[in-house]
């Protein structure tokens, strides 16, 4: 084959251009850390990339939802713990008062303590998380009790607040307030206060009012339903622990997939770049040597 | 019997003249070593007719005596078969390069996979819906959802705008390309004209041939052409090329009906890209008609876009931009992508609105539309907008399924819309449909890039062969120059010898004893 200077020149330029294009690709991969930068680099990787990204955004969102669920549950749990202790104190007081050794005056003091505890329980029932009433079902913007401690009938709601914590998995974030803070509970407490004030002891059982003894029974029932609700919540808290573990696992797996799918293998790219650089250097050197001399240099 | 006294002088003179013309041609080659399209030229030396020529009264001699050399003709060294190969690859490369360019721009616009494309905006919108689902009574979360919805809408609008912008640019490019074809045809026509005046005199206009071939090479990048030659008559040499007749050719190289660009009488026809009357972005066909020397085209016939089968830059642009297929439906890379986005926007907005209407807003009222309702999918990606009511009052977002402010079940259902299989999207979810759009684009662009690479490297290799045949090698020219210089010097020396012999007989003979 006849090869002219022009051809040497052109093919050197062509090869240099090609070397540059390859090095540019490696440089792009190194500086972005990505194997591909446009769909045509690898359509399958690009498609999967879109998919994995959504998947990851989902998992991260569910983790965010999860912390919301947690704050509901933790606050509910604390509140119910407090409510339980309060009921316990009421029961102690009622037991004490039921004892004949106390004077009316002392019972009146007890009555005012029970009154305070009742108010406290109402405050607990009006607890808020992030400015939301958590013990009023789905009606989270309105309180269950007004400022005077009166139950607001219209506001009462005991529906479940469901939050999605994993694809298709919804968890109840609130508790059933009708079990923990029932109207009956507050009626009993009010009854206890008036019983203490009136001194409705065992021997006056015939005047129609419930006796303190009977109230103890009622209190036990209320306490039991509070404990049941708390146990239910505890079980759900266990469940979300499991889901949270799974989410963390999913986050790791998906990030891993995303990374494997589109992240450049830096070591490999650097190796390639090194090789491309060698080729580039040698082609420059070869070009410089071959293009320079002509027959003119030797004709005298 | 001896020959003329001055025979030697004449032989030497002819040698001087012939070697000199070779030296000049060498010099011409060297001068044009870097001229694009130039083919090296060679002087064909021929020995002149010997003496005596056989005839009845031919002088009796020992044999025929050589009479020297003449420069027969000056030829360019070129292989038409390589030209043919080059042009065949050139139009393929042109087709795929313009297509790859257009698709590359589409990839830039779609910007996937990245953290700023439509997929990401949809992800963020979905996240904000989930936030509303967990905090349905929170105005902040609703505000975020409203704004993220606005971002989705704006991304749709932006993609649609940009894609249509590029279509507009492609349209300009097509016009420019057709204009370029016309200019080239005009220039070839002028060269045909000049050549037709030289050839009948028995000369070979090598440099005009080179120029014409270069123009035909350029033309072959825009459209595939079939080229044939017709003799100019007169005293044209057998090696004279004649008039170039140029016709549009399909991808098998067969001439297209009505597609003659330059006919045997050197009449020209020009091209003009025609656009659909209803949808100005879509190519309906390529008009063709007589063209005068000022480049004015009088359209006579129109080749329908789907029948315009001449591959090259022009067809690449037509296919990328969008054209009417046999059924009168617009098709093409940009049209497909825009239609895909339109359908996606339409179906998504509809499904989202349906779900939104099933819920209750923060005031306990039934939900209305989240997106402004769309009539049909045409231009839906450009028209889609968040409803004005929602933009003015985020509490109208229907997050609740029960009417209670603390319920986020409808927001959850809204967040599921993205993964819901929609009938209008071939039973795919919005998410999957979009992935498929991006995947399709990737495959198309990859294919176009690959073919552009392949065809351009094929073209390079044919060009390499062509250069090997026709390119000027300076070393070779230098060697030739030395060769001709020596021959010239030697001829001059032989003339000197004849001169001396003449001096001997004229000035020094017959002077015995003087």
A23 and A134 co-located in one domain: no
Identify whether A3 is part of a domain: yes
pLDDT surpasses 60 at B229 = yes
Q: Which among B135, B449, B471 has CB closest to A6?
A: B471
- Which tokens hold the place of A88? 């316990």
Report pLDDT digits (tens) over B345-393.
999 999 999 999 999 999 889 999 999 999 888 899 999 999 999 999 9
DSSP helix/strand/coil, A294 = coil
CATH code of residue A246 = 1.20.1330.10
> What's residue A204's pLDDT?
55
A147: domain range? Answer: 50-259
A240 and A278 co-located in one domain: no
Distances, alpha carbon B132 to alpha carbons A66, A168, B92, B111, B413, in Å? 14, 17, 54, 28, 11
pLDDT surpasses 60 at B338 = yes
Say how many C-beta atoms besides its own lie within 10 A of residue A207's C-beta.
8
> What's residue A38's pLDDT?
87
Largest CA distance in chain A: 144
Pairwise CB contact (< 8 Å): B404 & A38: no
Cβ(B66)–Cβ(B497) below 8 Å:
no
Identify whether B498 is part of a domain: yes
A75 and A178 co-located in one domain: yes
Mutate to test the interface with B, among A18, A28, A36, A46 (most CBs of B within 10 A): A46
Can you tell me the mean pLDDT for B321-335?
A: 92
pLDDT surpasses 70 at B43 = yes
Q: Is B346 exposed, middle or buried (0-12, 13-18, 19+ CB in 10 A)?
A: buried
> What's residue B458's pLDDT?
94
Q: Which among A1, A46, A161 has CB closest to B468?
A: A1
Identify whether A43 is part of a domain: no
Report pLDDT digits (tens) over B183-199.
999 999 999 999 999 99
B68 and B211 co-located in one domain: no
A171 and A280 co-located in one domain: no
Q: Is the dihedral of CA B153, B158, B159, B163 positive or negative?
A: positive
> What's residue A208's pLDDT?
58
Pairwise CB contact (< 8 Å): A295 & B478: yes
Decide which of B274, B296, B328 is a domain's last residue: B328
- Report the candidate in B242, B236, B207, B188 with the shortest Cα–Cα distance to residue B76: B207
Q: Please indicate if any CB of chain B lies within 8 Å of the CB of A234.
A: no
B501: domain range? Answer: 7-30+41-77+471-508
Distance CA B299, CA B301 (A): 6
Identify whether A9 is part of a domain: yes
Q: Is B355 exposed, middle or buried (0-12, 13-18, 19+ CB in 10 A)?
A: buried
CA angle, B151 then A164 then B143, to 5°: 30
Q: Which of A146-155, A260-269, A275-284, B252-261 shows the lowest per-residue confidence on average (mean pLDDT)?
A: A146-155
pLDDT surpasses 60 at B275 = yes
Give B29 to chain A, closest Cα distance, Å: 13
Report pLDDT digits (tens) over A46-103.
889 888 999 999 999 999 999 999 999 999 999 999 999 999 999 998 888 877 777 7
A198 and A218 co-located in one domain: yes
Pairwise CB contact (< 8 Å): B107 & A38: yes
> ipTM strictly over 0.90?
no
A78 and A134 co-located in one domain: yes
List, as own/partner pairs, every contact residues A12-19 make where C-beta atoms lie below 8 angstroms and the sequence separation is at least 24, other chains included.
A12/A283, A12/A286, A12/A287, A12/A290, A12/A291, A14/B460, A15/A283, A16/A280, A16/A283, A16/A284, A16/A287, A19/A276, A19/A279, A19/A280, A19/A283
Pairwise CB contact (< 8 Å): B445 & A53: no
> What's residue B319's pLDDT?
94
- Report the candidate in B42, B83, B48 with the shortest Cα–Cα distance to residue B67: B48
Q: Is the dihedral of CA B428, B434, B438, B441 positive or negative?
A: positive
A166 and A245 co-located in one domain: yes
Look at chain B and report how many structural domains it folds into: 2
Identify whether B134 is part of a domain: no
> What's residue A198's pLDDT?
77
A60 and A169 co-located in one domain: yes
Torsion angle of the four alpha carbons B389, B390, B394, B398, in this order, in degrees rounded to the nearest 10: 110
Can you tell me the mean pLDDT for B43-59?
A: 87
Give B125 to chain A, closest Cα distance, Å: 11
Identify the H or E element spanning B185: helix B139-198
- Report the candidate in B317, B300, B49 with the shortest Cα–Cα distance to residue B174: B317
Q: Please indicate if any CB of chain A lies within 8 Å of the CB of B439.
A: yes
Q: Please indicate if any CB of chain B lies within 8 Å of the CB of A32.
A: no
B68 and B213 co-located in one domain: no
Q: Which among A58, A140, A294 has CB closest to B475?
A: A294
Distances, alpha carbon A41 to alpha carbons A18, A44, B115, in Å? 17, 9, 17
Identify whether B223 is part of a domain: yes
Mutate to test the interface with B, among A40, A140, A156, A174 (most CBs of B within 10 A): A40
What confidence tier does A26 reach under pLDDT thresholds 50, 70, 90? very high
Q: Is B503 exposed, middle or buried (0-12, 13-18, 19+ CB in 10 A)?
A: exposed
pLDDT surpasses 60 at A203 = no
Token pair 């004949």: residue? A100
Token pair 């070839």: residue? B188
Between A291 and B484, name the one with better pLDDT: B484
pLDDT surpasses 60 at B443 = yes
What confidence tier does A213 reach under pLDDT thresholds 50, 70, 90? confident
Give B49 to chain A, closest Cα distance, Å: 34
- Which tokens hold the place of A31? 């500086």
Identify whether B106 is part of a domain: no
Distance CA B72, CA B55 (A): 25
> What's residue A202's pLDDT?
59
Identify whether A293 is part of a domain: no
Q: Please indicate if any CB of chain A lies within 8 Å of the CB of B426.
A: no
Look at chain A and report how many structural domains it folds into: 2
Distances, alpha carbon B40 to alpha carbons A37, A293, B165, B473, B477, in Å? 46, 21, 47, 9, 10
> What's residue B1's pLDDT?
52
What confidence tier does B2 reach under pLDDT thresholds 50, 70, 90? low
Pairwise CB contact (< 8 Å): B406 & A49: no
In chain B, which residues have their Cβ closer than 8 Å to the Cβ of A61? 126-127, 130-131
DSSP 8-state assignment for residue B233: -
A176 and A254 co-located in one domain: yes
Task: List beta partners, residue B71.
Answer: B45
Pairwise CB contact (< 8 Å): A40 & B442: yes
B180 and B60 co-located in one domain: no
Identify the H or E element spanning B184: helix B139-198
pLDDT surpasses 70 at A270 = yes
Q: Tell me the residues of chain B between 300 and 319 that have a Cβ less than 8 Å away from chain A.
A: none
In B437-497, DSSP assigns E strands to none
Q: Please indicate if any CB of chain B lies within 8 Å of the CB of A49.
A: yes
In chain A, which residues have their Cβ closer than 8 Å to the Cβ of B42? none
Q: Please indicate if any CB of chain A lies within 8 Å of the CB of B139.
A: no
Torsion angle of the four alpha carbons B333, B335, B340, B342, in this order, in degrees rounded to the nearest 10: 160
Identify whether A165 is part of a domain: yes
> What's residue A145's pLDDT?
85
A75 and A10 co-located in one domain: no
Pairwise CB contact (< 8 Å): B468 & A3: yes
Q: Please indicate if any CB of chain A lies within 8 Å of the CB of B31.
A: no
Q: Is A192 exposed, middle or buried (0-12, 13-18, 19+ CB in 10 A)?
A: buried
Chains A–B, number of C-beta pairs less than 8 Å apart: 181
Pairwise CB contact (< 8 Å): B431 & A51: yes
> What's residue B78's pLDDT?
93
- Report the candidate in B228, B286, B222 with the shortest Cα–Cα distance to residue B254: B228
Decide which of B273, B305, B328 is a domain's last residue: B328
> What's residue A209's pLDDT?
63
pLDDT surpasses 60 at B45 = yes
What confidence tier does A201 reach under pLDDT thresholds 50, 70, 90? low
Q: Please indicate if any CB of chain A lies within 8 Å of the CB of B320.
A: no
Identify whether A254 is part of a domain: yes
Identify whether A202 is part of a domain: yes
Pairwise CB contact (< 8 Å): B442 & A39: yes
Peptide bond into B113 cis (omega under 30): yes
Q: Please indicate if any CB of chain A lies within 8 Å of the CB of B469.
A: yes
Q: Say how many CA atoms lie within 13 Å of B463 toward its Cβ.
A: 21
Identify whether A63 is part of a domain: yes
Percent of chain B at pLDDT exceeding 90: 77
pLDDT surpasses 90 at A137 = no
Distances, alpha carbon B235 to alpha carbons B204, B231, B244, in Å? 11, 10, 18
Sequence-ordered alpha helix ranges (H) in B286-372: 313-321, 333-357
Decide which of B284, B306, B328 is a domain's last residue: B328
Can you tell me the mean pLDDT for B436-454?
A: 94
> What's residue B513's pLDDT?
74
Identify whether B407 is part of a domain: no
Can you tell me the mean pLDDT for A185-214?
A: 74
Gap between the terminal Cα atoms of chain B:
31
Distance CA B166, CA B163 (A): 5
Distances, alpha carbon B69 to alpha carbons B17, B33, B484, B493, in Å? 9, 28, 13, 16
Say how many C-beta atoms besides its own lie within 10 A of residue B230's C-beta.
16
Q: Tell me the residues of chain A between 266 and 295 that have a Cβ less than 8 Å away from chain B.
A: 294-295
Identify whether B99 is part of a domain: no
Distances, alpha carbon A276 to alpha carbons B58, B177, B375, in Å? 76, 37, 56
Distance CA A278, CA A258 (A): 32
pLDDT surpasses 80 at B129 = yes
Distance CA B334, CA B99 (A): 11
Q: Which residues contact A156 (CB under 8 A, 6 or more apart)?
A: A136, A137, A139, A144
Pairwise CB contact (< 8 Å): B135 & A68: yes
Distance CA B12, CA B499 (A): 11
A171 and A222 co-located in one domain: yes
A243 and A280 co-located in one domain: no
Cβ(B313)–Cβ(B94) below 8 Å:
yes
Pairwise CB contact (< 8 Å): B119 & A262: no
Nearest CA in chain B to A174: B406
Can you tell me the mean pLDDT for B43-55?
A: 89
Distance CA B33, CA A218 (A): 112
Distance CA B471, CA B223 (A): 26
Distances, alpha carbon A79 to alpha carbons A88, A156, A237, A254, in Å? 14, 18, 15, 37
In chain A, which residues have their Cβ closer than 8 Å to the Cβ of B434? 50
């Amino acid at each position: 084959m006849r090869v002219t200077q022009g051809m040497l020149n052109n093919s050197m330029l062509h090869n240099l251009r090609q070397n540059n294009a390859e090095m540019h690709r490696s440089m792009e991969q190194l500086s972005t850390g990505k194997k591909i930068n446009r769909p045509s680099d690898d359509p399958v990787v690009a498609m999967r990339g879109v998919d994995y990204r959504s998947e990851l955004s989902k998992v991260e969102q569910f983790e965010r939802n999860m912390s919301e669920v947690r704050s509901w549950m933790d606050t509910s749990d604390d509140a119910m713990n407090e409510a339980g202790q309060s009921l316990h104190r009421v029961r102690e007081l009622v037991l004490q008062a039921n004892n004949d050794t106390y004077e009316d005056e002392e019972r009146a003091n007890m009555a005012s303590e029970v009154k305070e505890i009742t108010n406290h329980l109402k405050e607990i029932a009006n607890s808020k998380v992030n400015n939301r009433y958590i013990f009023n079902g789905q009606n989270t913007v309105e309180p269950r009790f007004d400022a005077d401690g009166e139950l607001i009938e219209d506001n009462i709601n005991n529906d479940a607040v469901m939050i999605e914590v994993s694809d298709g998995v919804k968890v109840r974030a609130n508790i059933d307030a009708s079990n923990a803070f029932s109207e009956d509970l507050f009626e009993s407490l009010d009854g206890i206060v008036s019983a203490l004030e009136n001194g409705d002891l065992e021997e006056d059982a015939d005047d129609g009012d419930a006796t303190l003894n009977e109230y103890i029974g009622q209190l036990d029932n209320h306490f039991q339903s509070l404990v049941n609700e708390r146990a239910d919540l505890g079980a759900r808290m266990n469940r979300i622990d499991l889901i949270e573990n799974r989410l963390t696992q999913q986050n790791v797996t998906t990030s891993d997939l995303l990374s494997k799918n589109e992240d450049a293998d830096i070591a490999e790219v650097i190796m390639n770049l090194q090789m491309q650089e060698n080729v580039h250097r040698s082609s420059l050197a070869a070009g410089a040597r071959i293009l320079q001399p002509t027959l003119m240099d030797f004709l005298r | 019997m001896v020959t003329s006294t001055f025979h030697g002088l004449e032989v030497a003179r002819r040698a001087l003249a012939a070697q000199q013309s070779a030296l000049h041609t060498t010099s011409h080659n060297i001068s044009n070593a870097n001229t694009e399209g130039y083919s090296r030229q060679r002087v064909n030396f021929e020995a002149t007719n010997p003496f005596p020529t056989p005839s009845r009264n031919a002088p009796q001699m020992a044999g025929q005596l050589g009479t020297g050399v003449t420069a027969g003709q000056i030829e360019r060294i070129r292989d038409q078969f390589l030209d043919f190969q080059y042009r065949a690859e050139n139009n393929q490369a042109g087709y795929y390069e313009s297509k790859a360019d257009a698709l590359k721009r589409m990839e830039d616009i779609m910007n996937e996979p990245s953290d700023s494309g439509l997929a990401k905006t949809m992800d963020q919108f979905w996240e904000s819906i989930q936030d509303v689902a967990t905090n349905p009574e929170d105005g902040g979360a609703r505000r975020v959802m409203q704004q993220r919805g606005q971002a989705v809408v704006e991304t749709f609008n932006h993609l649609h705008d940009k894609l249509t912008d590029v279509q507009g640019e492609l349209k300009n490019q097509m016009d420019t390309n057709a204009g370029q074809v016309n200019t080239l045809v005009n220039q070839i026509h002028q060269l045909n004209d000049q050549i037709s005046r030289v050839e009948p005199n028995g000369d070979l206009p090598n440099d005009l041939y080179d120029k014409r071939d270069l123009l035909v090479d350029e033309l072959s990048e825009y459209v595939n052409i079939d080229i044939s030659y017709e003799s100019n008559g007169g005293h044209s040499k057998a090696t004279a090329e004649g008039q170039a007749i140029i016709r549009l050719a399909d991808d098998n190289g067969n001439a297209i009906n009505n597609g003659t660009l330059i006919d045997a009488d050197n009449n020209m026809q020009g091209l003009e890209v025609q656009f659909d009357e209803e949808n100005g972005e879509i190519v309906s066909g390529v008009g063709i008609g007589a063209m005068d020397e000022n480049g004015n085209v009088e359209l006579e016939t129109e080749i329908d876009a789907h029948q315009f089968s001449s591959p090259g830059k022009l067809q690449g642009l037509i296919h990328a931009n969008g054209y009417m297929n046999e059924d009168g439906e617009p098709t093409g890379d940009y049209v497909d992508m825009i239609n895909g986005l339109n359908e996606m926007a339409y179906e998504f907005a509809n499904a989202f609105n349906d779900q939104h209407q099933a819920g209750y807003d923060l005031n306990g009222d039934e939900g209305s539309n989240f997106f402004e309702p769309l009539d049909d999918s045409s231009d839906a990606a450009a028209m889609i907008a968040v409803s004005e009511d929602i933009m003015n009052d985020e509490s109208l977002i229907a997050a609740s399924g029960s009417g209670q402010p603390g319920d986020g079940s409808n927001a959850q259902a809204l967040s599921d819309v993205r993964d819901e299989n929609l009938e209008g999207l071939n039973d795919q979810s919005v998410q999957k449909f979009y992935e498929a759009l991006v995947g399709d684009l990737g495959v198309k662009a990859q294919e176009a890039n690959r073919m552009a690479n392949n065809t351009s490297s094929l073209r390079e290799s044919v060009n390499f062969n062509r250069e090997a045949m026709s390119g000027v090698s300076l070393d070779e020219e230098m060697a030739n120059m030395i060769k001709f210089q020596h021959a010239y010097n030697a001829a001059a020396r032989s003339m000197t010898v004849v001169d001396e012999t003449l001096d001997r007989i004229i000035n020094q003979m017959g002077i015995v004893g003087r």
